[in-house]
Amino acid sequence: LPIYRPGTAVALAVSGDLDLPDDLRHHVDLGLDQLQRSHVVGGGTRELPPRPEPVDRVPRPVRPLENVVHRIALGGRAVAAVASAERQVNALTRDGLTATADLLADLAEASRDRGRDAFGRVVRDAGDEFPLAWLRAGLHVREFTRAAARHAWLAAVGGAR
The pLDDT tens digits for 13-50 are 666 667 777 776 667 766 666 767 666 666 666 676 77
Alpha-carbon Rg for the chain in angstroms: 20
State the helix-helix crossing angle for 63-75 and 86-94, rounded to 10 degrees. 150
User: What is the pTM for the complete model shown?
Assistant: 0.58
State the helix-helix crossing angle for 63-75 and 98-112, rounded to 10 degrees. 30
Mind listing the pLDDT tens digit for each residue in 94-122? 999 999 999 999 998 888 877 777 777 77
Q: What is the dihedral of CA 85, 115, 128, 144, to 10 degrees?
A: 0
Name the band, by pLDDT with cuts 50, 70 and 90, for residue 160.
Answer: low
How far apart CA 37 and CA 14 sit, in angstroms, is 13
DSSP secondary-structure letter at 22? G
The pLDDT of residue 2: 45
How far apart CA 9 and CA 4 sit, in angstroms, is 8
The pLDDT of residue 105: 93
Give the residue extent of every domain in the chain: 7-43, 63-157
Asked if 60 and 149 touch (Cβ cutoff 8 Å), the reply is no
Write the DSSP assignment of 36-100 as a string of letters: -GGGBSS-S--PPPPPPPP---PPPTTHHHHHHHHHHHHH-HHHHHHS--HHHHHHHHHTT-HHH
Q: How far from the centroid of its chain's Cα atoms is residue 85's Cα? A: 11
| Rounded mean pLDDT, 64-87 | 82
How far apart CA 23 and CA 33 sit, in angstroms, is 11
Name the band, by pLDDT with cuts 50, 70 and 90, for residue 89.
Answer: very high
